[in-house]
Structure 1
C-alpha cells in the first residue's frame, strides 16, 4: 500500500491538498486524494507552515502593541492552534499518554487510540504551549516574534516527511499508514523549502540555529517512538512537529540576544 506511486500532480494542487489537511481554513474541498497523494503533497507542508506562522505571528505582533510580551506570545500560539485545529497538539498528547502507559507496544498503541487525554498528555500540552510562549516572549520585539514563529512553523512541518523516511508505520492501518510514504525527493523538497523559509525569516545564522533546534526536537521524538512502538503513527508525526517547533523557538530565543549583542 505504501509503495503506490501517485500520478503526477502540480505544485498548486499539492499546496491545496496540504493546506486542507493541515489547517481548518474554509478552503475548497480537495476531494479524496489518490493513493499516495497526501504523501506527495508533503513537499508543500513547509509552505503551509510558513503561512500559518506568519498569520499567527502577525496576531502576536499586533497584540504586542498593547500587551506585555507573555500575553502577546500566548495569543500568537493560540492563533496557531485555532488555525490548525490543534491537529499536532492532539498527536503530541496521544503519544505522551502512550509513552506513559504501562505495558508493551500493543498496550501503548491502544492507549494512543483512546480519545480521552490522560495526565501525561495534559502535561505534554502544558509544556508545549508554555515553552513556545515563553520562548516567543523572550524575543526582543514583535517583529522578531513574527519571523521566529514563521520560521518555526515552516521548519517543523518539513520534519514530518523526513521522519517518515527513517521510520516505518507502527500500524497497518490509521492515518500514518494510509497517507503513504513520501519518497526521498519529497522529503528533500520539504527540507529545502523549510530551510529557505528560515533563512529568509532569520538570516543564515538564525536559520542554522533554527535547523539545529528542529533536528534535535524531531529526532528526540523519533528515537522515543521507535523504541516504544516501533515506528510512526499520525500521532507520532504530530509530536515530531510539536517538538521541532518548540526546538526552533528555543534555539532562536537563545541565539537572538547573542546576535543583538
Structure 2
C-alpha cells in the first residue's frame, strides 16, 4: 500500500472509531477497509491518552478510584461518540428479542435500548469501571489502562476476519466484514499476547487470550443468530474485549 493509501486508511480508522475531526474518506476500497481495521489500535491512541491521563490525574488529586474510573469511561464514551456502547446494547437486545433472524436484525436497527440492552450496559460498564479503578495510581498503571483501550480495538480483527460474513447486504458490516485474513488476525493477537508479557508474564498473555476468546464466541453467536456481523457487533466486540482486558490485567 502506498503512503497515501496508508494515510487514507488511518484517517478512515480515526474517523470511524473516534470523534477526532478528520477529512472524510469518500470511497472505501477493500484495501482501505483492511488498512483501517489493522490501524484500529493506533487510531485509539488519542482515546487511550485521555483515559491514562484521567487515571493518573485522579490519583494525584487523591480522588476516589472508582469515581475516577467512571469519569474516565465517560470520557472514553464521549471520545468514541458512544457508538460502541450503542452497539453493545443493540446486540444484547437483538440476541434476546427473537429467534427469528429478520426480527432480531430489525430490533438492532431500531436503535432503542430495551431491557437486555440496558442490563448489558450496566454489567459491562460496571465491570470496566470496577477493574479500571485498579489502574488509578502511578504512571505505569495509567499507561497500562491506555494500552488496554488500544488493544481492545483489535477485536475488529476477529469480527472482521475472513470466515465471518456480514449479516446484511448493506451498512457498515458489509463494508468491513471478511476483510482481515486469518493469517493476519491470528498472528496479530499472538503479538498482543507477547507484548502483554511485559505487563505480567502469566496474567498478560492469559488476559489477551481471554479477550480473544470472548470476541470469538460473540462472533460465532452472532453469525448463528443473525447470519453474520453488523456494525453493532463491532462495537459490542470492542466493549467486551476492553472489559476482559481490564479485568485480566488489573493489579498487574
TM-score (normalised: structure 1): 0.84
Counterpart in 1 of 2:42?
Answer: 47
CA distance in 2, matches of 1:40, 1:180: 13
- Cα separation, partners in 2 of 1:76 and 1:196, compared to 1, 3 Å: farther
Q: Do structure 1's residue 34 and structure 2's residue 28 form an aligned pair?
A: yes
CA-based RMSD: 2.5
Stretches of structure 1 lacking an aligned partner (at least 5 in a row): 1-5, 257-261
The answer to whether the Cα contact below 8 Å between 1:50 and 1:197 also exists between their aligned partners in 2 is no
Comparing 146-155 and 166-175, the one that deviates more: 146-155
CA distance in 1, matches of 2:133, 2:77: 17
CA distance in 2, matches of 1:231, 1:224: 9
Counterpart in 2 of 1:252?
Answer: 249
CA distance in 2, matches of 1:126, 1:182: 32
**1:12-161 matched pairs, under 5 angstroms:** 12-27=7-22, 29-36=23-30, 37-66=32-61, 67-139=63-135, 141-161=137-157
CA distance in 1, matches of 2:206, 2:149: 15
- Cα separation, partners in 2 of 1:61 and 1:22, compared to 1, 3 Å: same
TM-score (normalised: structure 2): 0.87
The answer to whether the Cα contact below 8 Å between 1:161 and 1:187 also exists between their aligned partners in 2 is yes
Cα deviation, residue 177, structure 1: 0.4
The answer to whether the Cα contact below 8 Å between 2:11 and 2:25 also exists between their aligned partners in 1 is no
The answer to whether the Cα contact below 8 Å between 1:52 and 1:153 also exists between their aligned partners in 2 is yes
Cα deviation, residue 192, structure 1: 6.5
CA distance in 1, matches of 2:2, 2:105: 32
Counterpart in 2 of 1:3?
Answer: none
The answer to whether the Cα contact below 8 Å between 2:8 and 2:25 also exists between their aligned partners in 1 is no
CA distance in 1, matches of 2:191, 2:5: 16
Return the match for 2:158 from 158, 162, 187.
162
Counterpart in 2 of 1:212?
Answer: 209
CA offsets 1:231-259 (integer angstroms, 9 cap, x no match): 11111111111111111111112x62xxx
Comparing 137-146 and 122-131, the one that deviates more: 137-146
| Corresponding pairs, count | 248
Counterpart in 2 of 1:259?
Answer: none
